[in-house]
A and B are shown apart, each in its own frame.
Chain A
Amino acid sequence: MKIYIDLSNLMLVDFVTGIQRVVREITARIVSSPQHEFVLMTYSFRKNAFMKLDNDLFRRYFTGEDLEKEVIYTQEVVDIDSIPCGAVFFDIDSVWNSRLNRSWLFPKLKKNGVKIVTELYDLIPITHPQFCHSSTTANFMAYVGANLKYADLIITNSNATVQALNDLTDKLGMERKKAIVVPLSSDFTNNGSASSKNEVDPEVKEIADAGKYLLMLGTIEPRKNHSLVIDALESGLAEAGMRAIFAGRIGWNVDELEERMKNHPLYGQSLFFVEKPDDSTVDYLYKNAFAVAFPTFNEGFGLPLIESFMRGTPVVASDITVLHEVAGDYADYFDPNDKDDFTRCVKALMDDPALYEQRRERLRSYVPYTWDESARDMLSAIETIDVTAKKVPDDAKVKQLVCLTARNDDMLATLPYIEEFMPFITEVVLMTPDKNVEELKNSYHGRLELKFLTDSEILGGNKLPEDHSTRNFFLRCLALKNPVFDDVFIMTDDDYRPLRTIDQEVFIKDGAYNSYYCYDLPRWRGTYSRPTSFDVCQRKTLAWLREQGFPTKMYASHQMQVIDKRIFNEMTEKYPEIIDKGMCEWSTYFNYGAAHYPSMFRHVPYVAMGWPGVRSDWYVDVVPEEFLFENHYSFLYTKGQVFDGLSEELCEKTREENVIKCCRFANELRKQREARAVYDSYSQSYWVQYREIPSFSLIPVKGEEEQDGIAISAPAYYQAKISEWTRIPFNVDKSIFTIFGTKDIELSYWFSDEDGLKLTSAGRMKIDPDDLSFLLPVFSPSCPERCVLNIKAILEEKDIAASVAVRANIIG
């Protein structure tokens, strides 16, 4: 298992306490585990990526070796999208205030099929927001929300936190999260950690040695209820000879308390504050305290209790559920809202030496949880989501190909390719309209056994949806219940053709199904602003996948793919509501599979040519490393097109010509990449110059005499490759539609010279009110000289227009 850990906060702080201590102890231990590969990282906002840490140096530094912290950093970048499917992202650090907000990061990780495990220390900002800084509360709410939606496993340190988590999910009406309790340890002095080698601060030693004291260790903050101890000192405890030492750092919203403490007449006599003590000093304070006072209003765990027990120091603690769970019978309890009860509790120990001795004696039997045990159990918890568990059997054989077709000509032209290039396929199931069956039967005489499943057999009385994508998904969902299908088969369309001889390993390899993806669904913008049925289908699918917290890769790769009928049916049985919603059959299935059976699905870049049909259609984000299939478009074989002069049907020359096709199509993609590189370089330079990404926006403006108008906001200049397509980001302010009460906006765009003469013909497109952020396909002129990119927007019914002319550098 590959486990990624973001340690940004630990690496940032110079004072290790509380959560940072847990992070340090656990990480330094698990990183040595030979069973797994660990990638320790910090987030760099400059790069918007993680930077890798040196595992060995991390461990050595945080186990006390005399090193500079800086040596732990490396220059190796870990791009967020490079964290692979099946890896685990283990969030153990206190990251809710991180710039890399989990509400943004987690959907991105899930999109790639990464498993998320979070150590959740408490839910205090949710349950008791009054004790937290407003900023922390807001960030924490976002952090918890992201975990509720996307985490695969929550590890907590107490049942009380699990209960709080369950209460929250119940209130939200969400499914409860899988949660495992792993108690924490506290033996931080035994690991030779970086700060434990220091000498005890002599000033602190002097204070500690001067008499009995109650120790309160931890950040000074309202929730910890330090005031109660001061109140108790004032009302007799000091007079009785008890002192109090507060050790920790000054936290949020304690100005009043700090002032009260530092100006208190008892300050320096019975009341002391030790700021940011090191581990050795903390250890000394614990060992020599009369008792540890823990009057907190709420905790996730209560580490000071355990730390105290381990040193044989009695504890007086708030009478709250979580502390009972952690401390059990080893502590004495009081009401945190009642100073008299606290005083009673302390005085009972002060006034009765036998009782006090009994408490200390009792602690000798206390068996602490060690950090080694905590780390071991935490790793075991992570292993419960083992992603390597389930595999496709090695002897799995595929012999069946399944095709949904309503076009006999296309199907009959494709079957010979299957016959020729897919020797392992012996049977083809054709899902087709009833009227098509006879002709297919009579026209095909090859080696493949054809089986038919007609629309009427599939529908069984159900009405066939009109929309193309809805119909396809609906039919497939219904059909796959039919016993005619093997458990595992190859699914295809009637125009997906193999290009050369392929074997089963293209689909099933090393115990996993190869799942060919072609895009990230959230980035899919379609060809133009006006979405096709395909684009709408992709959007619906993305919305559904996001709602379920599933990965969001796009698998509509226009090529053959392997399907496990059992998993497909499991999905449609679990989510019957999707069947007639026009989802993408490929992306729903493969993302569902990636979420539920990550070890059974290997995600590989698609291997189809003809998708996109032409290079101006859309930007290829995932570049095929090879072409094994052709998404057949007849128009590509016409004059002037990429396959001009090559044969469209299987013939003697097909193998040779397929090699030529691969070269020509790869060349098309190369041209697109080159044009894109010019644009990307321009975008980067523009950002450096203006701190902005260049883009165009259509916005409403107040015109002269307060008349509403529209305008096109544009970058200062534009740059593109000569005679090539570039797709430029264009956005439309949605309020235009409400202000002007029209849905009819047309954009036209062209290049002219500086005198306004057209150098290219004008492209035109209608803006779709449901797609206001799109990429405008612009073909740059053939003259490598300064020219102007013109864009004009017209609200047709309203006689309102706006235009913009942007200086354009056309690069040769």
Chain B
Amino acid sequence: MNDQEMYSSIYDIVQKNAVDAGSELETSKDCFLCITASEPSRVDVLKLSEEKDNMTFLRKAYICMLKRIVDPAALESWKLSADLSPEEFQLRCVNGLKLSEEFFLTHVKLENNIYATNNPVTGAPAAAPGSSVTMPEKLMRMYRKMPDFMKKAARRVMGVR
């Protein structure tokens, strides 16, 4: 039995104990497995983004980024954005939490942050189309010596923006 299977089985046993006692676990199995897999000081945002259910994503983001279960007030507040597309919701959620003082104090590092405001997908401009076009070495040496207006013309000719 691997770790995740074991934790999953433990969850089932405890959930049954709770139900038998007229109660139930407030933490979902997904979130519990997220707790067991979370690193103390790193969060892989790309991996986290695999969760496409907005509210589950939120719960997992709190566990991973703030190291706690989402509080009822925050949950209510985020519910207002629950209808957003997963991408938009995740973007807001990750950046919202990232900018919080609480996150700053956790000293957690974000890894593979596909929602970073400074990266080309979500913020900065994307790569220029055609930027992979290469000039022959000889032409390149000539190009380097050209004045700016000629460089511009040459680039147009070469299809390089």
Contact = CB atoms under 8 A, between A and B. Distances in A.
Contact of B121 (A99, A100, A713): A713
Contacts of B22: 130
Given A129-B23, A174-B6, A691 B110 contact: yes
B14 interface: yes
Interface stretch (A29-37, A461-469, A753-761): A753-761
Contact of B128 (A125, A139, A716, A805): A805
Interface in A677-710: 687, 690-693, 695, 697, 699, 701-702
Contacts of B50: 733-735
Question: Which range contains the number of A residues in contact with the other chain?
Answer: 35 or more
Contacts of B78: none
A216 interface: no
A134 B26 contact: yes
A715 B3 contact: no
Interface string B1-41: 11100110111011001100111011100011001111111
Nearest to B32: A138
A756 B3 contact: no
Interface stretch (A140-148, A354-362, A603-611): A140-148
B75 interface: no
B27 A137 contact: yes
A412 interface: no
A748 interface: yes
Contact of A716 (B49, B118, B161): B118
A687 B118 CA distance: 13
Contact of B40 (A45, A691, A755): A45
In the A-B complex, the 9 residue pairs with the closest CB atoms: A134-B26, A805-B127, A130-B23, A803-B127, A716-B118, A103-B36, A713-B114, A48-B41, A130-B21
Nearest to A172: B9
Interface string A719-741: 00000000001010111000000
25 contacts: A45-B40, A48-B41, A103-B36, A107-B3, A126-B17, A134-B25, A137-B14, A141-B32, A149-B3, A171-B13, A690-B116, A692-B116, A711-B120, A713-B112, A713-B119, A713-B122, A715-B119, A716-B116, A716-B119, A729-B112, A733-B46, A755-B151, A756-B128, A803-B126, A805-B128
A253 to B, nearest CB: 11
Given A691-B110, A693-B111, A99 B160 contact: no
Nearest to A104: B39
Interface string B68-109: 110000000000000001010000000000100001101101
Contact of A138 (B46, B69, B120, B126): B69
A507 interface: no
Given A138-B69, A711-B121, A711-B126, A691 B109 contact: yes
Nearest to B139: A757
Q: How large is the interface on B (under 10, 10 to 19, 20 to 34, 35 or more residues)?
A: 35 or more
Nearest to A689: B118
Contacts of A263: none
Contacts of A101: 35-36, 38, 40
Contacts of B7: 103, 141-142, 145
A712 B37 CA distance: 26
A693 B110 contact: yes
A805 B131 contact: yes
A546 B3 contact: yes
A141 B10 contact: yes
A792 B132 contact: yes
A699 B121 contact: yes
B8 to A, nearest CB: 10
Interface string B129-156: 1111111000010010000000100010
Contacts of A755: 143, 151, 155, 160
A186 interface: no
A756 B133 contact: yes
Give the dominant DSSP class at B's interface.
loop
Interface string A76-119: 00000000000000000000000111011001000000000000
Contact of B10 (A145, A687, A697, A757): A145
Contacts of B114: 697, 699, 713, 733
A100 to B, nearest CB: 5
Contacts of A168: 10, 13
B117 to A, nearest CB: 9
A45 B14 contact: no
Q: Report which residue of A146, A173, A805 has the largest number of chain B beta carbons within 10 angstroms of its beta carbon.
A: A805
B61 to A, nearest CB: 14
Contacts of A756: 128, 130-133, 155, 160-161
A239 interface: no
Grouping DSSP codes into helix (H, G, I), strand (E, B) and loop, the A interface class, with mixed when no group exceeds half, is mixed
A579 interface: no
B6 to A, nearest CB: 6
A714 B136 CA distance: 28
A714 B120 contact: yes
B157 interface: no
B10 to A, nearest CB: 5
Contacts of B135: 757-758
A142 B35 CA distance: 7
A130 B18 contact: yes
Contacts of B132: 748, 750, 756, 758, 762, 790, 792, 803
A728 to B, nearest CB: 12
A552 interface: no
B116 A713 contact: yes
A734 B41 CA distance: 24
Given A135-B27, A546-B2, A692-B111, A145 B126 contact: no
A713 B120 contact: yes
B96 to A, nearest CB: 13
A11 interface: no
A639 interface: no
Interface in A790-812: 790, 792, 802-806
A128 interface: yes
Given A729-B111, A731-B112, A805-B127, 10 more contacts: A104-B38, A107-B3, A137-B14, A137-B25, A142-B36, A695-B113, A715-B118, A733-B114, A755-B155, A803-B132
Contacts of B26: 134
A734 B9 CA distance: 26
Contacts of A715: 116, 118-119
A318 B27 CA distance: 30
Nearest to A803: B127
Interface in B34-56: 35-42, 44, 46, 49-50
A710 to B, nearest CB: 10
B35 A138 contact: yes
A804 B6 contact: no
A733 B31 CA distance: 21
A693 B31 CA distance: 24
Given A174-B1, A546-B3, A129 B17 contact: yes
B147 to A, nearest CB: 13
Given A141-B10, A687-B109, A731-B112, A134 B69 contact: yes
A126 B160 contact: no
B50 to A, nearest CB: 7
A752 interface: yes
Given A48-B40, A129-B14, A755-B160, A134 B109 contact: no
Nearest to B21: A130
Contacts of A699: 46, 49, 114, 121
